[in-house]
Amino acid sequence: MIRLKEMAMKKISISNIGKMLILVLLFSTSFISCTDKFEAYNTNPHEATEEMMTHDNLKTGAFFTQMQRNVVLFKDGTNSDSDYQVSQGLTSDIYSGYLAPTGSWYGGVHNGSYYFITNWLETTFRSGFSSIMPAWQSIVQIANEQGLPEVAALATIIKVEGMHRVADTYGPLPYINYGSGSLANNYDGLEDIYNKFFEELATSITVLTDFTLANPNGRVLEKYDLVYSGDVNKWVKFANTLRLRLALRIAYANAAKAREEAEAAVSNPIGLISQTQERASLKHTSNLVYYHPLFEIAYNFNAGEVRMGATMDAYMNGYQDARRPRYFKPAVDGAYHGVRQGIVTSVWTPYVGNQISNLNVDNGTTEIVWMTAAESYFLRAEGALRNWNMGGASQGFYESGIAVSFEENGAVGAQDYIGNNTLQPIAFTDNAEGSTFHAAAPSTITIAWNAGDSFERNLERIITQKWLALYPDGPEGWAEFRRTGYPKLIPVVVNNSTSINRDVQVRRIPYPQSEYNNNRAGVLSGVSKLMGQDNGGTKLWWDKK
């Protein structure tokens, strides 16, 4: 279930205080941001003391792991699975079309039917400003004091990875002047934030490129790096690919800037992510023992509170996609069945039972992935389609993206899939409750590349396959749908919002109530930069198509 009580009552056990580390973050007053809420968040009882951080790089390492653990929330002793559920599971994961909620909360009148539950809107915002930004600020100061620009560069890349997800969820944020003493509670416009992202990535990439060229086997913070074990070469590839991701995000808002940043990313001598072993993910090691939060939500919360979404059903079954058993469990009939968002029913048992496909995640090997290798190829495929210099042709990148996705997911038959020019998405049939929630096929897009098709048709082809490869990364899947309109998603059954068009769907998440309570002037400055009301129907700056 949604463990709001758990969230409110998380405490540190002190029964064995002699055997455990009491981890406390102590920030000087120059580090405390200007709102009361941020000040409260700047103290984390789960980090190392100043004395402890004087040995073996732990001074920066503790903050470094803290940042990595908070890009995507999971149960780690500080965060819980319910934090993931309300920050991502009940927002981007369902608005992307990947999954659908099957919890019976509030009689179905909740985020899934576009009626936002106030206390479900806090966690994404909080995680960025309680765990990512303060830790980054401390690392940068320490790295500057110790003459370690490569450490600051790594931390800045993680900051951009984490905070672009927050910005793409809400819009304007108090980002650019964070920690400078001049924050003054004001929010920055999303265009300015993106320009800062690019500036930070460019600087960090230069520092790390120089470092890895001079030290080909060099590693930084190896013991504390949960993603690449300190491999700087891989971090540069990730940063270049992240830069390309964000460049395409603004393609409809500032095409010239998008092309400039994209081509700069591709031209870097270290390159981009291109192999499965280079994908960015939290590795299961002795230093990080965890399970994917979707496991708990799908299997243990009230016997399961999330299932395969109807849109995934329509596309994956239509394409006879060999990744189906890698993503989902078959229903009792051996087939794969999803569920629509916004259904109204008095009987939820069939939806959490064996008539709908559950998620194929386990509690020991499923990784939390920040960026797949397949995404890198699809990004270049779109760039090439736009006639940007991506170092190759759109078709080649597109087909490589599919092949690498199959490889990443342990699926076979990629070449037959790539060459199929007849299969297309099918109509959705509800397998649990008759014809009430059926839906027409969302699209007619086929798989095989067709050079004779229009730009828009091939763009839909690229984004549809990219979306399938991104699963279950809800923030990226949702952002790409908002940016391009693809893939075409099956709409909600019941729309309980007065501000969100059922066909246009959710465009952003409203700011949390805590900001209105604790930082009213600041949040109102953010709303003024939205160019619209603080609701789910207002488009973000880059959402221009």
Total of domains in the chain: 1
Give the model's confidence band at 184: pLDDT under 50 very low, under 70 low, under 90 confident, else very high: low
In this structure, is residue 419 part of a structural domain? yes
CATH number at residue 118: 1.25.40.390
Range in 119-123, 159-163, 292-296, 433-437 the model is least confident about: 433-437
Contact 96, 477 (CB under 8 A): yes
Name every residue whose Cβ is closer than 8 Å to that of residue 537 and which is 6 or more positions away in sequence. 497, 499, 500, 501, 504, 506, 507
In this structure, is residue 16 part of a structural domain? no
Give the pLDDT score at 353. 85
* DSSP states along 55-94: STTHHHHHHHHHHHHTTS---SSSS-HHHHIIIIITTHHH
Give the model's confidence band at 15: pLDDT under 50 very low, under 70 low, under 90 confident, else very high: very low
Distance separating alpha carbons of residues 468 and 378, to the nearest angstrom: 11
In this structure, is residue 25 part of a structural domain? no
Distance separating alpha carbons of residues 395 and 378, to the nearest angstrom: 10
In this structure, is residue 308 part of a structural domain? no
- pLDDT of residue 107 exceeding 70, the answer is yes
Position 490, amino acid: I
Tens of pLDDT, residues 310-333:
999 999 999 999 999 999 999 999
In this structure, is residue 54 part of a structural domain? no
Tens of pLDDT, residues 21-46:
333 332 333 333 333 333 333 333 33
This model's pTM is above 0.85 = yes
Q: Which H or E element spans position 522? A: helix 520-530
Tens of pLDDT, residues 397-420:
999 999 999 999 999 999 999 999
Range in 31-35, 257-261, 462-466 the model is least confident about: 31-35
Average pLDDT over residues 370-384: 98
In this structure, is residue 369 part of a structural domain? yes
In this structure, is residue 543 part of a structural domain? no
In this structure, is residue 117 part of a structural domain? yes
Buried b (16+ CB within 10 A) or exposed e, 338-375: bbbbbbebeebebbbeebbbbbbbeeeebebbbbbbbb
Q: What share of the chain is helix, strand, coil (3-state, %, to 5)?
A: 50, 5, 45
- pLDDT of residue 6 exceeding 60, the answer is no
Distance separating alpha carbons of residues 38 and 31, to the nearest angstrom: 10
Tens of pLDDT, residues 67-96:
999 999 999 999 999 999 999 999 999 999
Tens of pLDDT, residues 52-64:
344 446 678 999 9
The token pair at 472 is: 């279950």
- pLDDT of residue 381 exceeding 60, the answer is yes
Q: Which domain holds residue 281?
A: 82-294+363-530
Buried b (16+ CB within 10 A) or exposed e, 458-479: bbbbbbbbbbbbbbbbbbbbbb
Residue 445 CA to chain centroid, in angstroms?
A: 26
